[in-house]
A and B are shown apart, each in its own frame.
Chain A
Amino acid sequence: MAKLLMKGNEAIAEAAIRAGCRCFFGYPITPQNQIPEYMSKRMPQVGGTFLQAESEVSAINMVYGASGAGARVMTSSSGPGVSLKQEGISYLAGAQLPCVIVNIMRGGPGLGSIQPSQGDYYQATRGGGHGDYRLPVLAPSSVGEAVELTRKAFDLADKYRTPVIVLGDGMIGQMMEPVELPDDGESAREPESKPWAARGWDGSSPRAIINSLYIDPSVLEQHNLALQRKFAEIEKAETSFASERVEDADLVIAAYGTMARIARSAIRMARAEGLKVGMIRPVTLWPFPSEPFAQAARTAKAFLTVEMSAGQMVDDVRLAVAGRKPVHFYGRTGGMVPTVRDVLSRIKEAV
C-alpha cells in the first residue's frame, strides 16, 4: 500500500479510526488540535460520534460513559487539559474501563507554552490521578510509530481493561512523515466481546455495573490487590524498547519520543568521531524497560539521560541502573528543544 505523508496528529486520529475507535470526545488545545479537527471530519464518515465537550472534565467523563457501554473510545489533549482529566482517568482506572488518552505534551507548568516538552512524564507514568494505579504509556518517536502505537493502545486497553496513554510532544503532533496505514478497512476491527459492559439488561445475565466506589475497605483492598496483579501482568508481558548500538557502547543514552531522534543524530556524529555511544529508547514508559538498562550497566561505563524536562525519566533510569554506573542528565524545559550539538557536547563530557 502506498505511503501517505501525514501530520502526526492526523495520523494518530486515522490510526484510531482504523483500530475501531468510533467515539471521540475532546476539547481544543494546542499542539494537538488536528486530532479533534480530523475526528470531526472522519467520525461522521464512518458512522461514529465526534463530540466537542464543554471542557476536558466532561470529555473524560463522556469517555467513561462510552467505555462503560463497551465502545472503543478515545480522547486527546495536552498538558493543562490532561491535568483536568485526571479525576476521570482515576475513575476509569478504578472501574477498569478501556480507553485511549493521547497527550501531545507542551511546555509547563501551568498554562506554560505551546512548544514541545516532555514534562508530563511523571504524571503519565505514575498514574496521574489519585489512588494506586498505573497506566500503560506508549511513546512514539516517529509518525509511523505513532500509527502503530495508537493501534496497539486500543488492543492493550481492551486486553487489560485499562486506560492507555499515548504520550507524544508538540513535534510529533506537528511534523509530517510518510506513514503506511493498516489497510483492514474501516469497520474490520470491532471491539471484542465485552460481557462486563453495561449495554442494557435483559435479565439473562447478572447486571453489568460500572463502578469505582467500594465503601467497605476490605472489599476495596481486594479490588486493589486485583488491580496490582493486573499491573504486574502488564509489566511482565508488555514492556517494550528499542536499542541502537548498545553492544560496544561506553556511554548509553536514554531518550524517548522525538528526543531520541535528536539523540540519534548526535550519536551518529559521536560515532563518526570514534566515540562509542549507543542508545536505549523506551517505547513503553510504563512499564519501564528496566532490564535492558540493568544489562547495559554491566558493559557501559556511564549513562546519559536526555529529556525535554528538568529530569523525570532519569529517575527510572537510575532505579534500573541501581547505582552501578553514573547516570548523567541533560534537559531543556519550557518548550526549548535540545539541539544535536548540545547533546553531542554532553556526550563528550560524559564519555
Chain B
Amino acid sequence: MNSQFRGVLKQIVVLLAALVGALLIGAVFLLLAKSDPIKAYGVMFAGPVSDKFGLTETLVRAVPLLLVGLGIVISFRSGIINIGAEGQILAGAIGAAYVGNSFPDMPAILLLPLVFMAGAMSGAVWGGIAGWLKARLAVNEILSTVMLNQIALQLYLFLIRGPLIDPQEVSYGTGVPQTALIPEQIWLSRLIPGTRLHSGLIFALVVAVLVYVFLWRTSTGYRMRAVGAGPEAARYAGINVQWYLVLAMALAGGMAGLAGVVEVTGVHHRALEGISAGYGFSGIVAALFGRLHPLGTIPASILFGALLLGADMMQRAVNIPAAMVMVIQGLVVLFVVSSDYFLKNPSSVANLKVKLFGKKVNGEGGK
C-alpha cells in the first residue's frame, strides 16, 4: 500500500515537472508576443479556479473530455488506436438531436434514455465500422478513422443544413445550419443555477466507474485487455480477437457518441456546427494524462478542462493571439508524453542529473 502510494506520488511529481517544463518554453513565446508570462500564467491558472464561473466552465469541458477519454482507454487497452472520436461525437450528437426531436411529446423518463441510447448507438456504429474494417479486412484503424472523421463531418453538415435543419431557419430565410431545439423536458438539469454545469457530469462519473468495473472485473473486459496486451497470445488462448477488436471500437465510439449526446442535451440543446470542438483529440490527451486508467482519466479530464479554459481566458486578459492556446496545449502534450520515460526508467532521472551536472547525484528517481 505504501509503495503504491509512493508510485502515485511519483507519477504526480513527474507530471507536474513536465507541466512546468512546457510552461517555461511557452513563456518564451509569450515574451515574443510581448506579454508578461507571469501575468498570463497567473490568469491561466487562477482563472479556472478563482470563482464559480471558472470552476463550472472547467467541469463543462471535463464532461465530454472524460467520456471521450474513457472510450480511448477502452480502445487503447484493447490494442486499437482510435483517432476517430471527432467523427463519433458528431454521430452521437446528430443521433440524439434527431431522436429527441422525433418525439417532442414523450415524457422525459422515456425520451431521455432513448436519446442517450440513440447517440451511443450512432457513435458505436461509426466506431464499429473502423473496428470491423480492421478485424475483417485488415484496414489500418488510423487510416480508416481519419477518413471516417472527414466523412462524418460532411454527412453531419449535410444533415443539419438539409433534412434536419430547424424549420424556422428556412421560413425566416436565414438558413443557419442547426437542428431545431430539442424538447425542453430532456434538457439536462443545471446543477448550479446561472451556470452551464449540467447533470451530465454525474452521468460521466458513473460511466467512468462502470468502465473500470467492466475492464477489470468482468471476463469480457479481461479478454479485451488480453487482446491489447498481445493479440497473438490472446488468439493462442482461444480468444476471438476479431470480435473483441470490433467490440472495442464500438464501445470507444459509443463513449464518444455519449459525449455528443451530453453536449446536445446538456449544453447546446440542439445539434449545431462545430459541436465536437476538438474534444476528439483533447480526449486522447486526457486519457493519456490519466495513464489510460478509467479513474485516472477523471482528474486528468478536469485538469485538461481547466487548461483549455485557462488558456482561452489568457487570450482576453493579456491580449495575446488565440493561437497561443494551441501552442501551450501542444507543449504540454509533448512534455507529458516524454515524461513517461522517467516513470518507466527509474535510473533515467539519475542519469539525466549526471548528464546535466556532470557528477553523480545521489537521490531517488522522480524527485
Partners in one complex: no
Give residues in A with beta carbon < 8 Å to B.
none
Give residues in B with beta carbon < 8 Å to A.
none
